């Protein structure tokens, strides 16, 4: 299997550019090692991993010059679990620097191209993982999602992306962006693969203090076409937002299919998602400004050569190592956390966060799932969004889910008139991955 995927990478990688590193030699070593793992569920299956998850001895750049030459001395828990299950790590995929972005154009190295149309972006920040799956350069991939970075690129590339419940998958070894929002999840060709990968990567990890204790489910149990009696909410306030008519039509057609299959679908009322977006762009930069303080030229990665003293070394390292978007977030986050502004911005955003979480809890008292589009449009053209705020808007439907900590999946639901894929988002209550998988499987 690995050889077939390697051939495929050789054929298309120069056009799509999904990978920062193809771990060829190591993959061969892994294969030898897995001769005795033939019975495992992922034996010999080539999986791509986003370049913000630590891989022992394999470069983990996070799409940043800051970590361009960083080789972690250990595996992230998810990588360890993939290895135990017999998977072959095919390579490390391109991403927006430190996962900040929605098009993968913030990578410090190069753009990834959408396999459906090479002039378009694959979405982001897990654009490399989504493009690699869509282009057949791996059987499945891992992404990370802080505000939509698994689901939005999955939607733009016509594949399946699941952001699990916060705490469901260990973040140990994931380079931190915004720790209270970050979550690792699978990007796959179909819903069945998503369930299989979840079986491998989910579960409690003592190395991650926010990881959830509890019995692990078998997600493949939910692979049945049965939504009869399931109650699904359509939030009117989300559908009233400004977004493409073709996206709307395609999502509503899928909703009709669920109705035909026996689901009860009703309009529900929720807080306008723009409040979640505003809160996200205070909370995520605030946490990022704290998390990224470790890149000071002393502990990790890049150290500027141009410095007369230590203080200048800090400044120059950050100046040379971080790209514009990362610098913007550090400045916004530091500002929002500073004394005098903390109450007005950070504290307020946290209060909005609680309201949004309560809003989801209220709906899930009566409904099994909520359906929205994954993104307001299909994939943007490369270099088309110069205004950061315009880029942030592509996360409007995905961000509230991270704010509330609930799980959500993007699945393909059609194409627009330019033949670009459209995705819909199925949102479930905490630990509702099973229900999501069940409804998604029905729609496939
Ligand atoms: N696009 C969002 C951002 O730039 C989300 C990124 C993510 O989920 N990692 O923050």
Q: For residue range 147-164, what is the model confidence (pLDDT) as tens digits? A: 999 999 999 999 999 999
Across the range 184-198, mean pLDDT stands at: 98
Task: Say if residues 57 and 21 touch (Cβ distance below 8 Å).
Answer: no
| Closest by CA position to 80, among listed 184, 172, 208, 211 | 172
Contact 182, 146 (CB under 8 A): yes
- Reported as a single tens digit per residue, the pLDDT across 14-65 is 999 999 999 866 667 776 776 778 889 999 899 999 999 999 999 999 999 9
- Nearest Cα to 241, choosing from 281, 270, 272? 272
What is the distance between the alpha carbons of residues 327 and 415, in angstroms, rounded to a whole number? 36
Query: What is the distance in A from the centroid of ligand 1 to the CA of 155?
Result: 14
Annotate 357-409 with DSSP letters as a single string.
Answer: HHHHHHHHHH-SEEEEESSSSSPPBTT---SHHHHHHTTTTTHHHHHHT--EE
| Closest C-alpha to 326, from 383, 254, 388 | 388
Half-sphere exposure in the Cβ direction for 202 (13 Å, CA): 28
Closest Cα to atom 5, ligand 1: which residue? 147
Question: How many distinct helices (H) and strands (E) make up the chain?
Answer: 15, 11
CA distance 401 to 396: 10
The residues near 2 (Cβ < 8 Å, ≥ 6 apart) are: 27, 31, 44, 46, 88, 90
- Report whether pLDDT(281) > 70: yes
Residue 6 above 90 pLDDT?
A: no
From 49, 59, 58, 52, select the one nearest 79 (Cα to Cα): 49
Q: Which atom of ligand 1 is nearest to the CA of 177?
A: 9
Contact indicator for 232, 265 with CB cutoff of 8 Å: yes
Q: Give the total residue count for the chain.
A: 444
- Convert the pLDDT of each residue in 217-227 to its tens digit: 999 999 998 99
CA nearest neighbour of 423 among 262, 222, 246: 246
Q: How far is the CA of 185 from the centre of ligand 1 (A)?
A: 14
In ligand 1, the atom with minimum distance to the C-alpha of 394 is 1
Sorted by where each begins, the domain ranges of the chain are 2-220
Instruction: State the average pLDDT over residues 107-134.
Output: 98
- Is the CB of 395 within 6 Å of ligand 1? yes
Choosing from 146, 273, 393 the residue with most ligand 1 atoms within 8 A of its CB, the one to mutate for a pocket test is 146
User: Ligand 1: which atom is nearest the Cα of residue 325?
Assistant: 4
Greater model confidence, 234 or 30: 234
**Yes or no: is domain 2-220 CATH 3.90.1300.10?**
yes
Mean pLDDT along residues 220-246? 95
pLDDT at 327: 98
Average pLDDT of the residues of the chain:
95
pTM over 0.95: yes
pLDDT band at 97 (very low <50, low <70, confident <90, very high): very high
- CA pair distance 282, 65, nearest whole angstrom: 25
Tens digits of residue pLDDT in 249-280: 999 999 999 999 999 999 999 998 999 999 99
Measured in Å, residue 147 CA sits from the centre of ligand 1 at 5
**What is the average per-residue pLDDT within 390-400?**
95
Give 313 Cα–ligand 1 centroid separation in angstroms. Answer: 29
Secondary structure (3-state) at 415? strand
Q: Which of 52, 64, 102, 273 to mutate to test the pocket of ligand 1 (most atoms within 8 A of CB)?
A: 102
Has the ipTM of the complex gone over 0.90? yes
**Nearest residue to 174 (alpha-carbon basis) of 49, 295, 330:** 49
Cβ–ligand 1 distance for 150 under 6 Å, the answer: no
Residue pLDDT, tens place only, 360-378:
999 999 999 999 999 999 9
CB-based contacts of 349-356 (< 8 A; 24+ apart in sequence):
349/278, 349/279, 349/282, 349/283, 349/286, 350/279, 350/283, 352/275, 352/276, 352/278, 352/279, 353/279, 353/283, 353/403, 355/271, 355/275, 356/271, 356/275, 356/276, 356/279, 356/400, 356/403, 356/404
């Amino acid at each position: 299997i690995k050889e077939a995927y390697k051939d495929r990478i050789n054929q298309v990688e120069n056009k799509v550019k999904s990978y920062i590193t193809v771990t060829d030699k190591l993959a061969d070593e892994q294969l030898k090692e897995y001769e005795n793992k033939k019975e495992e569920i992922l034996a010999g299956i080539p999986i791509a991993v986003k370049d913000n998850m630590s891989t022992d001895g394999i470069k983990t750049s996070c799409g940043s010059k800051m970590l361009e030459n960083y080789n972690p001395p250990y595996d992230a828990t998810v990588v360890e679990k993939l290895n135990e299950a017999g998977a072959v790590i095919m390579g490390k995929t391109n991403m927006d620097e430190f996962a900040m972005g929605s098009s993968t154009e913030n990578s410090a190295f190069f753009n990834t191209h959408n396999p459906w149309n090479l002039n378009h972006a694959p979405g982001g920040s897990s654009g490399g993982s989504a493009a690699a799956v869509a282009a057949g350069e791996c059987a499945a991939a891992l992404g990370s999602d802080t505000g939509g970075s698994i689901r939005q690129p999955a939607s733009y590339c016509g594949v399946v992306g699941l952001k699990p419940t916060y705490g469901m998958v260990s973040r140990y070894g994931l380079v931190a962006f915004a720790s209270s929002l970050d979550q690792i999840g699978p990007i796959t060709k179909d819903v069945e693969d998503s369930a299989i990968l979840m079986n491998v990567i989910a579960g409690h990890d003592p190395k991650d203090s926010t990881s959830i204790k509890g019995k692990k489910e078998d997600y493949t149990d939910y692979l049945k076409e049965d939504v009869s009696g399931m109650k699904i909410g359509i939030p009117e306030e989300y559908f009233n937002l400004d977004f493409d008519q073709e996206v709307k039509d395609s999502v509503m057609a899928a909703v009709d299919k669920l109705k035909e299959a026996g689901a009860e679908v009703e309009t529900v009322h929720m807080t306008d998602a723009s409040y979640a977006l505003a809160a996200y762009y205070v909370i995520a930069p605030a946490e990022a400004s704290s998390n990224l303080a470790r890149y000071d030229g002393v502990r990790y990665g890049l150290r500027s050569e141009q410095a007369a003293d230590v203080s200048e070394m800090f400044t120059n390292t950050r100046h040379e190592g971080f790209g514009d978007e990362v610098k913007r977030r550090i400045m916004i986050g530091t500002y929002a956390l500073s004394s005098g502004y903390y109450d007005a911005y950070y504290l307020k955003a946290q209060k909005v966060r609680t309201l949004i979480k309560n809003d989801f809890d209220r709906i899930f008292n009566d409904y099994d799932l909520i359906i929205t589009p994954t993104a307001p449009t299909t994939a943007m053209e490369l270099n088309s969004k110069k205004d950061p705020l315009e880029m942030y808007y592509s996360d409007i439907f995905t961000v509230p889910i991270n704010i509330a900590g609930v799980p959500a999946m993007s699945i393909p639901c059609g194409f627009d008139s330019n033949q670009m894929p459209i995705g819909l988002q199925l949102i479930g209550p905490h630990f509702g991955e099973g229900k999501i998988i069940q409804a998604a499987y029905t729609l496939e």
